[in-house]
Structure 1
């Protein structure tokens, strides 16, 4: 039967799957190291940079919503926001929807400092991505989106335990 997959084909596919998982772990480590260097240059903690990125991507946000997104205890989030505000990275303001609520937003005037520190990686990524077809990029984007969703699910399971 031509449609059956041989044992050699299954082994090759398993090996490739292991290679992909290993490459994802190595990428995760390298991105953590890059982010650590950026946070050090900005004189902030790694968790502060992570939260600032979440605020920039999803904000303005209330402290509770940000704590949920970051998987941090609300008391920890208060310390993070205090440090970010003191450093001029965020602004606390009244919510447009509920004037009693306070939300935080990234201070736009500071964004160039962060962008500059990531410029080398961004340039490398542009060069790398230029080598792929539109179809390849669609597959890569789909894979990364689905891998992220798997990570969110796994994180949620561990947080419930």
Structure 2
């Protein structure tokens, strides 16, 4: 009986991993199409999303969070600033007069919300099918999956 249970568990684990791979593909496709609508490259949108979610930060902090080389980030920030998505402001906390903070232009977010409204509505409908306890488990699983992905990316960066 234990062998049957182990086999069933392996099959379920493989099914979860396969579903995550499928999700990754679909979200990548969504992000590419989304980027085409608002004229943002995927990496540019990822950086903008980090700034929107975590608030103003230094380019060095953004580089670390995004896993990007600072020189690569400079071009991304230039494109975001030229598109009116972010501003670079002098960091008043720093003794170094060259230090800057990157801040999202919140007024531009309405363009993002409009393009993502279909996905947001579909996610609301999907979540409505689950109990609060089930949503708690799903949110925990997704957070832990994100953590596993971050750890794996950190390993690969070494």
TM-score (norm 1): 0.93
Structure 1 residue ranges (4+ consecutive) displaced by more than 3 angstroms after TM superposition: none
Residue of structure 1 in register with 2:142 after alignment: 144
Q: CA deviation at 1:45?
A: 1.4
Residue of structure 2 in register with 1:127 after alignment: 125
**2:46 aligned with 1:54, yes or no?**
no
Structure with larger RCO (C-alpha < 8 A, sep 6+): 2
Q: CA deviation at 1:42?
A: 1.2
Q: How many residues align?
A: 156
Alpha-carbon displacement from aligned partner over 1:17-43 (angstroms, at most 9, x marks no partner):
000000011101111111111111111
What is the distance in 2 between the residues matched to 1:138 and 1:55? 26
What is the distance in 1 between the residues matched to 2:20 and 2:69? 28
Q: Which consecutive residues of structure 1, in runs of 5 or more, have no partner in the other structure?
A: none
Q: CA deviation at 1:10?
A: 1.3
CA RMSD of aligned residues (A): 1.2
TM-score (norm 2): 0.94
Q: Which consecutive residues of structure 2, in runs of 5 or more, have no partner in the other structure?
A: none
**2:112 aligned with 1:114, yes or no?**
yes
